[in-house]
Structure 1
Amino acid sequence: MRQPARFFSLNKPSDWETGTASNMTINEDGVTIGRVDKYSIYRTVHTADIDGADAIADFAVGSGSKLYVLDAKAALWVHDYENRYTEPFYVPGHNLFTGQSLLAARGDSLYIADRSQDRRIVSISPSNGQIVWAAHEWNGLELFPLAVAVDGMRRLYTAVPLDTQPGQADEPEVPEGGRIVIVQWGLSGEMMRQFGHDEFRLEHASPLSALHRRFAVTVSDSGEPAMLDTASGQVVSFHADGSLKAAFRAEPGAAFASVSVDARGLLYIGEAQEGDPAENERFIRSCAAGGKLLGKVSGYRARADKLLHDGRARMYALDLEKGSVTLLDLQSRTMAMPATGLPEAWYISAPLDSTEDETEWHKMELLADIPEETQVRISYFATDERFGVLDGQVVDYESYFADPAIPMTQKWSASRHLWSEPVVNPQDALLMNARGRYLRFRLELAGSDRSGPVIRRLRLHFPRLSPIVYLPPIYQEDPDGGGFLERFLAIFGTFFAEMEERIAGVSSNFDPDSVTGAYLRWLGGWLALDIADSWEEPNLRELMKQAPELYKMRGTRAGLKRMLHIYTGVEPFVVEHHELKHMQEQSELRQLLGRLYGDNPYSFCVMLPPDCVRTDKQRLMVETIIDDQKPAYTEGKLIVLQPWMHTDMHTYLGINTVLSEPTVLTLDKQSSMPHHTVLVDKDRDKRIDIHTRMGLDSELD
C-alpha cells in the first residue's frame, strides 16, 4: 500500500548536538531542560521538639540523624530528628560548662569550648560522656576559644586571641592590634598547627564577652580552615599546610554571622540581620574559594547564626531568634534560563536536507515523557533557499543559527516570522504548509520547578505520503475539504505505518539482547525452564544464549555447574560420593563424612557462598536448578557455606575460612592494644559492658 518511509530521526546525542541549544541538557537518556542541585528545606527542629530544653544556644551534628543541642541553661541534649527522640546528655546544674559554650562534633568525637571555665576546651566521648582530653593553655598562653570546627579526621580547630590583658571588672580583653588565629588540635589534645593572617587584628581593644560569636570558623574534610570576622565581613581561608589560600571581603552592607564549607570546597556565608524579615530578607550566599559570589540559597530566608555541613552534603542553619535548627539538603531542580528567569529550554535544529527542491514534508513523530505542568512546543519552517533576510540583513540561515556569538533571544526574535504556529505536546502531527528542500524545527521545553519534559526521539517524515492518494480524484481536488480529509486519514495512516514497522522488526522480538522486562521472561519460557522473578535480566540473557549447549550437557556435572554459574555468577563446588570413598575407609571419619555429605552413594553436594543465596526465593531457585539439571536417579543437596570456622562442620581453608597471624588491635593512630591485654573492671567482676569507663572504674592491665 505504502512506499518505503523516509525520515530523519534524532535519538542520539550526536543528532541533537548539530543544532543550537540554550539551557538544555543532551545525553543518552534524551533531551531535557538543564538541572541544578539546590538546597531545599528538609526539616526544622524547634526548641519545643526537644522535650525539657530551654532556648537553643548552640548545636553540633552527630552521627546518623543525631544533633547535639545546647540550651541557654547549659543542658546538653541528644536529639534524633528522624525518630523524634530526645535524651539528656548533661542535665542542668552540672557546672561543667555554661550556656555560652561552643559545640563541635564529628563521628565519635564531641568538643565543648567555654572561655569562662577552668577547662577551656574539652573532648568528650559521646558514647558514655567520659572526658578524653582537656586543655586550658597553649604554649603558656591562656586559651579563650571564640569559635570551633572539626574536620573529617576529627581534628579540632579553634579561633583564639594571641594576646590578652586584664580589663575592667577583672574581665580579660584583647588589646588593640591583638591577633586572632586558628589553632589545630590532634585527637589526643596536642597542638599541631597554627593558621594566622594579618587581616585578623582588632582595631580597638575589646573585652572577651564582646567577641562572643564575632568570629566563625569552618574547615573542609581534608583540613583546610577558613575564618569569618562578622564585624568587618573579612574572610580568610588557608591550605592544610598553613599557607594562605584566599582572602576577601564579603558583600558590604550585609550582617554576616556564620560560614561553612561543603564537600566541593564552596563557602556558604549566612546573615543574621536584625529587624523584620519581611523587610530585610536574609540569605545564605555561596562563594567560590576565591570569594566570587556564585548565588544565594533561595530555599532559606532567615537568620543563620551558625552554619554546618555534614558528610551527606546536608546543610544546617541555626536561628537564635526563633530557637530553631533548619536542615537543608540538595535536591535536583529545573534550571531557569538566564534570559527569561523561567524553567525552560530553547533549541533550533540544523537544516534537514531532503536533497530535492519543493519537497513536501509529511509529519513529525515525538516520543517523549511530558509530566504534568510541563509542555513541549514544536515550530518549523521549510525552504529551498539557504539565504534569507533577518533583521534587515541577508544571512546564511545555517551560519546565523549556529553562531554562538548571537544570543538565542536575538535569533528567536529575528526569525519569528519564519516559524509555523507551535504544535503543543505532539505525538503524531502533520507538517502543514512545509514545502522546501531544507526543514528546520524549533523546540520550546517548558518545565516546572521540579520536573521538565524529556524528549527521547523525534522523527520527521518526508515526502508527503497520505492515504488520500488512494481515494477517487474528486476527494483529492476538493479545495475546501481536502485539508480536513487528509488530516483525518493521517490517523489511519499512522496505524498502518506502526503496523508495518512492527512487522518489519518482528525478528528483533526473538533476540534476547533487544527485548526487556516481561517480554524477555516470556521469551525465556520457550526454553522449558522455570524462569522465576529471581533471575536478573543479564543472567537470563546469558542463559538463553547458552541454552543449546546447556541442553547437550543436561544431567552432567559440567552442565549443572555452568547453569549455577550463570544464575549466581559464582563457580559452585560440587562434591560427589565417590570422591569421598578413600576417606570413608578411615572409621574415625566415616561418621563425620556421613553427617556432612550423607551416606547415599547416589547423592552429591553443591556448595555456594551465602552471597549467592540471600533470600528464600533465591534458595528455592537454586534448588530448582539442581533438581532440574541432576540425573534422574540422583539426589542433590544444597549447602550454603558460612564465613565462620567451626570444627566438624563445613569449614574449607581458602574457601570460607582464613588463617591469619595474630594482630595488634589499633585504638587510634597513636595507641594500640597487644593481643595479651586484659580489660579489668574493678567493681563488676571483670565484665565489660556500658558501665566500664577507662580511668574511672576500669583499667588496662
Structure 2
Amino acid sequence: MSLNPPPVRYAVARSGEAWPEVSLDGLEADPGGDLWLRLLPGLVPPWLRPPAQLAPSGLAFDCECGLYVADTAGDQIVRWGLDCGTQMLLPGAVSRSGPGSLGGPAGLCWGPKGWLFAGSSDGRVLIFTTPQLALRDVWTGFQRPLHLACHEQSVLVVDAGARRLLRFDWRGVPDTAFDSAVQAPAGPSEPGAVAVGEDGIVYVADGAAGGVSRFTWEGGPAGPPLAPGTRPSALAVSSGVLYVADGSSGEVILYSTAGGQALGSVGGFRGPATALAVGEKTLFIKPGLDASYLAAPLRSWYRASGSLRMGPLDAGKRSVWARAAAKATVPDETAVQLAWYTDDDPAPGSIAWEPAPSLDLLVPGERYLWLQVTLSSRSPRASPTLHQVQSQTAGGSYLDYLPYVYSRDPDRSGLSRLVVDQMDPAQVEPGDIDYLRLLYARSPKQGDQLSRLLDLARSQLGDLEQQIDDLARNFDPATAPAGMLEWLGSWLAFDLPPRLLDGRHPEEVRKLLLGLAALYRRRGTASGVADFVEVYAGVRPHLLEDFQERPLWIVGETPLGFGTGMPDRNVEGMLVGEAVVGETGPEDPATIGSALFASTAHRFSVVVPTPGGTDEAARSLITTVVETEKPAHTAFHICFATPRMRVGIQARVGVDAMVAGAPDELALGETSILGIDARLAGPAEDAPGAVAAHGQVGIDTRLG
C-alpha cells in the first residue's frame, strides 16, 4: 500500500471549442468556443402593448425581397419591396364583388410556381401570380381557411371552421392520406397556426390543449409537442428555431426544434401577434389586422441571463476538491456569478447552491463537486464572455517547500514509536515511514491563515504551471486554441484564405493545417496548383497542359486522324521568301526541331467551373493564386466556364460542359451575340388570349 498523497487532478468544462459535459441554458458558443448570452431578435425602440385576442392575419415572403402583408381590416393585400421600399396593392382589392375580391384576407404563403396563396374568411383560397399580384385561380369549398403554409409543391390549409388541417398540391388536388393521418385524435382537435420547416416537419398550434404539435411530411408523429403552456396565435420556423407568438403572455418565444427547449423571447416586444414571418436576417411580426408590421433583426438583442451547470465532478476515493474558478471577461453593465455545492453523495436529494464571493475560490474538501456559472446583462447590447470553468483537487502543499517551523502544530506530538513498531513491513513501501512522520508533524492548526494564503498563491501559480504543461498543445493544430491557428499557419509560411479569417470555421482551419505538409509536397505540380485554388477560392479548377494536346505528325508512326497536324513553323528555321540575307540562317544543330514544341512548351490552361458565376474579386483571387503557385518558368491562360454548353465551343465533358439554366434576356448591341446567345423562345405559359391549364373565363383569361 502506498501512502504517498494522490496527484493534483483538474476538471475543465471546455475542451477546444466544445463544452462536452455541461448543461447550457440561455448561452451559446461562438466559433472560437467562448460562451455568450444567446442573441435573440429584438425591437428598438421597444413595442409594448397588453396581450389581446385578435383574428389571424398573414405575412409571406417571395424570392425577390417582397413581403406580402394581409390587410385583414382593409380587405386587401400589400406587397412591400424590402430592397427598394416600393408598395403594391392587390389589383381589384377595392372591389367588394367579383371572383377576385377579398373578404378579410388572413393566412398567406408563397410557394409552388412562385404563386401567392391567400386564405379568405369568406371560405376561399385565392392564388395570385407574383410579383404582379394577378389572380391565377380560386379554390372553394372551405369554411374559414385562416392559416396557410407552403412547402415544395404543396400547400397546407387550416380550415378553422371545419377544424381540419388539409394539404393540397399546387393544382388544388387534396392529399387525403395526409388529411386522415393528422385528423383528431392523432392530431389537434382545434388546429390553429401552421408552419413547415425546411426538413418537411409540420408544426400546428393546438387551440384546445395549447402548445404546438409536430408531424412528419407523411402525417406521422414527429416528436412530443413543443411550447407547452402557451396559446399560439402565430407560428414561423427557420434554421432549427420555432417562433411561437403566445397569446397568453404577449411574447414571441423561440424554441429549439431539435431539443424542444425554450431559447428566449423577442426583446422589446410584448403584445398581440396575428402573423409571423422569418427572413434571412429579420423576424417580421404583424401586431394587428391592418397593413402595419414590425421588423425585429435576428441576433440583435442579448438575452438578459443564462447559466452553465456541470457536475457531479468526482475527485476520487483518496482526494477532495480544493478550488474552483471561472475565467470570464465582464464588460460594464454585465455580471458573472459563480456558485458551488459539494457533497460526499454523488446523487443528493437536492442541491443548495452557495454563491461564491469571487470567480476563484477555495471550496470545502469533499469528494463530489457541482458548479454553476450565471451570466447576466442589464443591456441588450452587451454580454459577458465565459472562457473556461475549472476545478482542482487537493494535492501537495506549498508548506512542503517551507522550513519545518512554518507547518509544525505544537499540539501534536508527531508519529509515535508504538505506531511505527506495530506496522507490517510487508505493507509498507520505502519512504512511507518518512512520509508518515512528515504528515503527523507538518499539520498546521485547522483554519491556519498561512495555509489558506499559500493555497491562494498556489491557485494563481498553479494556473501558470498548467499553462506551461499545456504549452506543447499550442503547437499542434489539432489541440491549439482557435485564436492561435492563424499564428500557427504563419510559422509554416501559410496565409489563411480570406474566407477563413473570420474565425467561424476553426475545424476547417485545423484540417487544412494538418494536411499542409502533404499540400506543400505537391506544390508546383498541376494537382498542387488545383489544390491551392480550391483551398483559397473554394472551387477546384481543371489544369490542361498544352503539350498533351500538341498535334505532331510523324511519318510511319502517327495514324491520320484527329491527333495529327502540321507544325506551325519550319523545323529547319528558314523559309524561302521570308529569310533575310545576313540576318537569318539554318537552325542551330543543338536546338534543331524546337520549333515543333516551342508554342506549347511550359504552357497550361486553367478552366474554372463557375455554375453560379463569380464576381471580379473572386476571379482576381483565383488568378493571383495560380500566378503565385505555378512554376516560375511557365505561362498560363485562365478560363472561367459558365453554364453555356455549346457543341464545338464548350463541350468537354467533366471539364467545361455545364448545362445552362434559363437563358438571359437577349439584348442586341450589348453583351449578346447572334449565333451564340440567340435562342428561340418556348411557348408562353400564360400568353394573352390563351386559356391556361387553370384558366377561368373572367378570372385569368387575358386578350392580347
Structure 2 counterparts to residues 143-292 of structure 1, below 5 A: 145=144, 147-152=146-151, 153-155=153-155, 157=157, 159=159, 185-190=168-173, 217-221=192-196, 258=233, 260=235, 271=247
CA–CA distance in 1 between the matches of 2:468 and 2:216? Answer: 66
Question: With structure 2 as the length reference, what TM-score do the two structures score?
Answer: 0.56
The answer to whether the 8 A contact 2:127-2:137 is kept is: yes
3-state SS, counterpart of residue 90 of structure 1 = coil
CA–CA distance in 1 between the matches of 2:476 and 2:192? Answer: 61
Q: Does 1:352 align with 2:352?
A: no
Q: Does 1:325 align with 2:293?
A: yes
3-state SS, counterpart of residue 407 of structure 1 = coil
Matched to 1:541, the amino acid is L
The answer to whether the 8 A contact 1:24-1:33 is kept is: no
Structure 2 counterparts to residues 490-529 of structure 1, below 5 A: 507-508=472-473, 510-515=475-480, 524=489, 529=493
Displacement of 1:637: 1.4
Counterpart of 1:205? none
Matched to 1:458, the amino acid is Q
3-state SS, counterpart of residue 375 of structure 1 = strand
Counterpart of 1:165? none
The answer to whether the 8 A contact 1:45-1:81 is kept is: no
Structure 2 counterparts to residues 32-111 of structure 1, below 5 A: 58-63=57-62, 64=65, 66-70=67-71, 72-80=73-81, 84-90=85-91, 93-95=94-96, 96-97=100-101, 100-102=104-106, 104-107=108-111, 108-111=114-117
CA–CA distance in 1 between the matches of 2:166 and 2:517? Answer: 65
**Per-residue CA shift, 1:281-321, capped at 9, x if unaligned?**
756799999xx9999978654234x3445587987654448
**Per-residue CA shift, 1:571-612, capped at 9, x if unaligned?**
764444433332589669969xxxxx9964542215252569
In structure 2, stretches of 5+ residues that fail to align are 49-54, 411-443, 501-508, 554-562, 570-595, 663-679, 690-698
Q: Does 1:445 align with 2:444?
A: no
Counterpart of 1:398? 344
Matched to 2:80, the amino acid is H
The answer to whether the 8 A contact 2:276-2:284 is kept is: yes
Structure 2 counterparts to residues 464-483 of structure 1, below 5 A: 464-466=396-398, 469=401
CA–CA distance in 1 between the matches of 2:634 and 2:102? Answer: 74
Q: Does 1:580 align with 2:554?
A: no
Matched to 2:392, the amino acid is L
Matched to 2:159, the amino acid is A
Displacement of 1:639: 2.0
Distance 1:471 1:331, change over 3 A: same
- Answer with 63-72 or 570-579: which moved more: 570-579
Matched to 2:79, the amino acid is V
The answer to whether the 8 A contact 2:340-2:371 is kept is: yes
Which of the residues 267, 279, 303 maps onto 2:272? Answer: 303
Counterpart of 2:390? 458
Distance 1:363 1:5, change over 3 A: farther
CA–CA distance in 2 between the matches of 1:515 and 1:658? Answer: 42
Distance 1:69 1:572, change over 3 A: closer
3-state SS, counterpart of residue 87 of structure 1 = strand
Percentage of identical aligned residues: 13
3-state SS, counterpart of residue 390 of structure 2 = strand
Matched to 1:408, the amino acid is I
Query: Higher strand share goes to which structure?
Result: 1
CA–CA distance in 2 between the matches of 1:74 and 1:131? Answer: 15
3-state SS, counterpart of residue 355 of structure 1 = coil
Counterpart of 2:655? 655
Distance 1:637 1:227, change over 3 A: closer
Distance 1:575 1:187, change over 3 A: closer
The answer to whether the 8 A contact 2:478-2:510 is kept is: no
CA–CA distance in 2 between the matches of 1:556 and 1:267? Answer: 52
Q: Does 1:375 align with 2:374?
A: no
The answer to whether the 8 A contact 1:23-1:335 is kept is: no
Distance 1:471 1:325, change over 3 A: same
Matched to 1:546, the amino acid is A
Displacement of 1:122: 2.9
Question: With structure 1 as the length reference, what TM-score do the two structures score?
Answer: 0.56
3-state SS, counterpart of residue 7 of structure 1 = coil
Distance 1:587 1:328, change over 3 A: same
Counterpart of 1:619? 623
Aligned length: 556
Matched to 2:395, the amino acid is P
Displacement of 1:187: 2.3
Which of the residues 693, 696, 700 maps onto 2:702? Answer: 696
Counterpart of 2:683? 678
CA–CA distance in 2 between the matches of 1:499 and 1:265? Answer: 42
CA–CA distance in 1 between the matches of 2:290 and 2:602? Answer: 74
- Answer with 70-79 or 263-272: which moved more: 263-272
Counterpart of 2:356? 422
CA–CA distance in 1 between the matches of 2:210 and 2:385? Answer: 43
Matched to 1:122, the amino acid is L
Per chain length, whose mean CA-contact separation is higher, i.e. which structure has more relative contact order (CA < 8 Å, sep 6+)?
A: 2
Counterpart of 2:604? 605
Counterpart of 1:407? 350
**Per-residue CA shift, 1:396-423, capped at 9, x if unaligned?**
x533x514xx2324xx5xxx7xxxx834
The answer to whether the 8 A contact 1:19-1:402 is kept is: no
CA–CA distance in 1 between the matches of 2:475 and 2:33? Answer: 30
Distance 1:115 1:483, change over 3 A: closer
CA–CA distance in 2 between the matches of 1:131 and 1:477? Answer: 95
The answer to whether the 8 A contact 1:124-1:130 is kept is: yes
Displacement of 1:657: 0.6
CA–CA distance in 2 between the matches of 1:587 and 1:535? Answer: 45
Distance 1:476 1:84, change over 3 A: farther
Q: Does 1:130 align with 2:129?
A: no
The answer to whether the 8 A contact 1:446-1:453 is kept is: no
Displacement of 1:123: 1.7
3-state SS, counterpart of residue 621 of structure 1 = helix
The answer to whether the 8 A contact 1:368-1:455 is kept is: yes
Distance 1:605 1:538, change over 3 A: farther
Displacement of 1:619: 3.2
Displacement of 1:623: 1.5
Displacement of 1:471: 7.4
CA–CA distance in 2 between the matches of 1:224 and 1:513? Answer: 40
Matched to 2:371, the amino acid is L
**Per-residue CA shift, 1:149-207, capped at 9, x if unaligned?**
2442452636387xxxxxxxxxxxxxxxxx7767655423456659699999xxxxxxx
The answer to whether the 8 A contact 1:351-1:398 is kept is: no
Distance 1:159 1:329, change over 3 A: farther
Counterpart of 2:693? none
CA RMSD of superposed structures (Å): 6.7
